[in-house]
Amino acid sequence: MRRAAEIDLDGAWDFQLLQSPETPLGEDWKTVQVPSLWTMSEDTDRPHYTNIVMPFDEVPPTIPAHNPTGVYRRVTDLSPVAGRRTILHVGAAEGLLRVFVNGEPIGLSTDSHLAAEFDVTDALVVGANTFELVVAKWSAASYLEDQDHWWQSGLSRSVYLYTVPQIRLADVSTIADFDPATGHGTLEVSVSTAGLGHLTEVDWSVRIEILGRAETLPVAPRSPAPTLTNGGTDRSRRPEPQFPTDSMDIVSVYAAGGSVPPEFRDLPAHFTQNMIRKPDAGTAEFTLDDLDVSPWSAETPHLEDLVVQLVSPDGSVTDETRIRIGFRRVRIEGRDLLVNGRRILVQGVNRHDSDPRTGRVMSEALFLEELSLLKRFNVNAIRTSHYPNDPRFLDLCDELGFYVIDEADIEAHAFASTMPDDVRYLPEFLERVSRMVLRDRNHPAVIAWSLGNETGYGANHDAAAAWVRRSDPTRPVHYEGAISADWHAGHGASDLVCPMYPSFEALKGYSADPRGDRPVILCEYAYSQGNSTGGLAEYWELFETLPGLQGGFIWEFKDHALDPDGDGKYRYGGDFGDAPHDGIICLNGVVFPDLTPKPALYEARGVFSPVRVVSGADEVRKGTLQLRNRQTFADLSAYALELRVETVAGPGEAVTLPITETHAGQESTIDLPPAVRELIAADTAIALTLTVRTREDARWAPAGTEVAVEQVVLPREPAALPRTGTGTRTPAVGADGALRHPLLREPPRLTLWRALTDNDAAFNLDQRFVRSGFFQLEHEGSEVHQSPDETVVTTNYHAAFGDKVVHRRTIVTLAEGDFLLSEQVTLPEDSRDGLRIGMRFELVDGFEHASWVGLGPWENYPDRRSAALLGAWESTIDGLAVPYIFPQENGTRGEVTEMRLTGPRGKVRTTHTTPLHMNVSRYSLGELEDAAHWWELPTSSRTVVHLDVAHRGIGTGLLGPDTRPQYRISGSRYDWEWRLTLSEEH
């Protein structure tokens, strides 16, 4: 049971960092702040990142000889109160924690992510008391915390003291059930006390209050141990019969549910009294039925205050606690996970504690900032990968509305084949799982318990799962390792099929398989390292249409790069001299370390939108718009809906629609306002945009916050490009066939390469793109044929490994600095997969601003564009880049029919009847590929432009499905044309 701090011990502590627990203390102490991690500040023990391997070469349970140990010491004046016990609370210690008070050993703890509490009463004195917390970096338990994160050490959560009476509340457990059939709730409250369990007569009581209702029950006394009656030794008279013949048989007949003869029907209560459960000594158990409650869900996170009081014989309240609870029911029925009787869709992310300045030390303000961001982007679920989060975080999940899979602090990835059956670790498995459940079972946000992550599967998991199911039958158990090799197995440890990074084909196959008997919720998918998260919309097409599939948790929320010096130079594995390390694998979030959203999060926002437009262009042009409410419980009245028409010249004025109360899962048809219909009919209209905003202030967002944008594209015939020129024209083609102009530092040339993304370089793609040789195109020569009307340039290239590429360009000079370019590119016939087909050119310095008609405003790619919006957009050129910490391809926008670049040097415009992919950057491909960190790229005023007729999707090939075939480049010939207009006029 959680208690509030009475004496806050956060703040300044004396500190020494020793080489091992055996190293004697020195005389030199420094001052550090608690909570903090010494690895974020001490030069002799820096952060160390590994994904799977342990950072030392040992096997369980061996502890490495080099074992940095932090000693925290603080002197605090106290005045112990007679009759009360003093408890030291250590929120989390990363490593093995040993506690000393006034030199006396108090206890130890090994779980780095659960609080450790110690009764220090008997060691305290009146006046100055010395608290010493000794944290050893490594212990036998370290093998259970191999969690694809930075290895850190220190005190990562708050430290404080509180006091309790000798007789007190020890624990409160609630089951707040909501019956969707009746709309009423039932509350079971189990209260245990300390200091009363030994009494056979108890005149203490427990009182609970909730929803204006109060109930009081006596605390149960200790029941005497049962004894068998003794027949005695008196033979002076005939004893009277006490029991019928063969009455002992009735115990087993009764237990077996058999037929009991009439003469024995009064006996079972006597014989089975010890089999009938009685309240445990020192407890009180309440059941409140038929409660008029509002149910809790992630969409409607309604909470009630429960007050629990321990009342002494004289009627005074000796102890009290308050708990916020939510009434809801979690069930699995067949292949559906239900909340309050309805099938939910899990729009989740995996989340680690991570702050670039403090490591895993997190503030409540940061928790709220993270969850508010996720709420604004329509995320409704969190998996606490891979350990229990701070209770304050779960409080906010209860309040704001998130479904949580609460994960035990168990990952033995490096020894996953042996640890789950290692009996030496069985107690640790059980303790870590059970302590999590006991701590967090009153949180309505928690809808499932996870036994940990990537630790194989064995007897230790089955034992832990059995304990959880017995202790809390109201929630399912989750463990990916139980089903990883066979989605139809592992029932002993997982009630869900929760795979990692499955293929689309696997999901389709399981959904159609009659053997499937559990819901499928992906514990990790949509791997988001670097420029990634392609295919998210394809996943959700399956989740929303196929039975048994209910969503999953994107890997992951935030990049784990660190910036301990606060200089803006994010660092990853190896940057602290850590070896072995796994480099950039910690950079796989949909937000940057400072919570700046990446384009992938905008894609998720659109896929997770509470509103979906289901009508097409034909219906819109006829004046109607059909909407679907994607929510499970709430209607749409919480949202304000705005319409605007996008044109090639920019957006029209927004029009607010009347409030719609479209019920969850239902559709409604809206008549478009006349002003909107008029704009739609114009030749310049390209899309109808629906913006979804919050209607009222909430803790996670003020009223008017944009939470989603939907579009209906209005197809239109592209304007034809001019075919002939006018007026006098200066020859603009050199002898080599290259286009010449004062604004062109480098003329348009063929390019087939992009700076490899992390997915492009995935080991399972087997250097596919490098094998193409397209990273290098050697110019073999050009043939130039000029006529009065056009110039035809045929250029032959050979790729790095000798393959021939032919580029044929027809140039029509329309006016001074105005060109029509018709391109034809022929690749080797055996080309099967490429990265891009397009033109690259570079402008002279002096361009600052970009505008375009196409998809935007954020970066998008062919397989990550379902939430991108068609419109007329603008940005600074610097603002087009997405600064992935490890530099790579970034900043592309698709479906572009017009681009303008402006600045002090002039204007450049391109138009294209065939929509192209646009990329305008300050850096060349070589500069991006040569840099190891974004902050290593030099400040640049260059303007490098790519216009591609084809650009490969980005997929999730590093872990999970590669780019789908329809988003790959597989042709051998490409034809397109575009217009390039350059002017030195400002």
233 burial via Cβ count (<10 Å: 0-12, 13-18, 19+): exposed
For the chain, the distance separating the N- and C-terminal CA atoms, rounded to the nearest angstrom, is 70
The span from the CA of 211 to the CA of 188, in Å, is 14
The span from the CA of 782 to the CA of 736, in Å, is 6
Give pLDDT, residue 163.
97
Q: Give pLDDT tens digits for 746-795.
A: 999 999 999 999 999 999 999 999 999 999 999 988 999 988 889 999 99
Please list, in sequence order, all residues whose beta carbon lies within 8 angstroms of the beta carbon of residue 684, skipping any fewer than 6 positions away: 647, 648, 649
Going by their DSSP bridges, the two strands 96-101 and 104-109 should be labelled as antiparallel
Give pLDDT, residue 849.
98
Q: Which residue has the tokens 């004195």?
A: 125
| SS3 state at 261 | coil
Q: Give pLDDT tens digits for 437-474.
A: 999 999 999 999 999 999 999 999 999 999 999 999 99
pTM attached to this predicted model:
0.95
98 beta partners: 108, 134
Could you tell me if residue 622 is left (phi over 0), alpha (psi between -120 and 50 degrees) or otherwise beta?
A: alpha
Give pLDDT, residue 228.
65
Give pLDDT, residue 265.
63
Q: Which residue has the tokens 């606060």?
A: 566
Dmax of the chain from CA atoms?
142
Give pLDDT, residue 270.
52
The span from the CA of 304 to the CA of 177, in Å, is 13
Give pLDDT, residue 62.
97
Q: Which of 484, 466, 472, 469 is nearest to 523 (CA)?
A: 484
Burial 194-204 (b: 16+ CB within 10 A, else e): bbbbeeeebeb
Stretches where the chain sits below pLDDT 70 are: 226-231, 263-277, 726-731
Give pLDDT, residue 234.
83
Residue pair 123/102 in contact by the 8 Å Cβ criterion: yes
Give pLDDT, residue 278.
76
Q: Which of 523, 441, 509 is nearest to 480 (CA)?
A: 523
| SS3 state at 270 | helix
Give pLDDT, residue 266.
63
